[in-house]
Amino acid sequence: MRCWPEILRLGANVGIGVPIFPGVSVGIGSGTGGIGVGVNAGSGPLGVGVGVNGAGQVSGHAGVGVSTPGPVRVGAGVGVGKVLYAPQKPSHTQPQPAQADEKK
C-alpha cells in the first residue's frame, strides 16, 4: 500500500507556451523540478503534456485548470505526472577484480 507522501508531491512551475496550432503548444518553464521544455495539448480546462528536464528525464502530465482570458494568460491547476524515462547515472564505484584462489 502506498502512503500519501509517496503519491502526493506538490510543485510549482512558471513558463511560457507558444501555440503551434489550435489546442497544441510548445513551451519552456522553470519550477521545482528544474528547467524543462515540452509539448502540451488541451481542450477547455483539460490538458496533457510531455516534457523533458535538464537532467534528461522525460515525463508525462495530465491536469485540469483555469486561466484568465486573453492573449497573455495567468492560470492555476492541479494534475498528475509520471517519469516515463530517466537516464542511467554512471556508477562512481570501480568494480573490484576477482580474487584468485591462492591455495594450490
Q: In 10 A of CB 104, how many CB atoms?
A: 3
Helix (H), strand (E) at residue 42:
strand 34-43
Model's pTM, two decimal places? 0.61
In the chain, the amino acid numbered 55 is A
Per-domain boundaries in the chain: 4-64
For residues 83 and 52, give the distance between their C-alpha atoms in angstroms, rounded to a whole number: 9
- Per residue in 28-87, pLDDT (tens digit) is 888 777 788 888 888 888 888 898 888 888 888 888 888 888 777 777 888 888 889 888
For residues 48 and 81, give the distance between their C-alpha atoms in angstroms, rounded to a whole number: 10
- Per residue in 87-104, pLDDT (tens digit) is 876 555 555 566 555 555
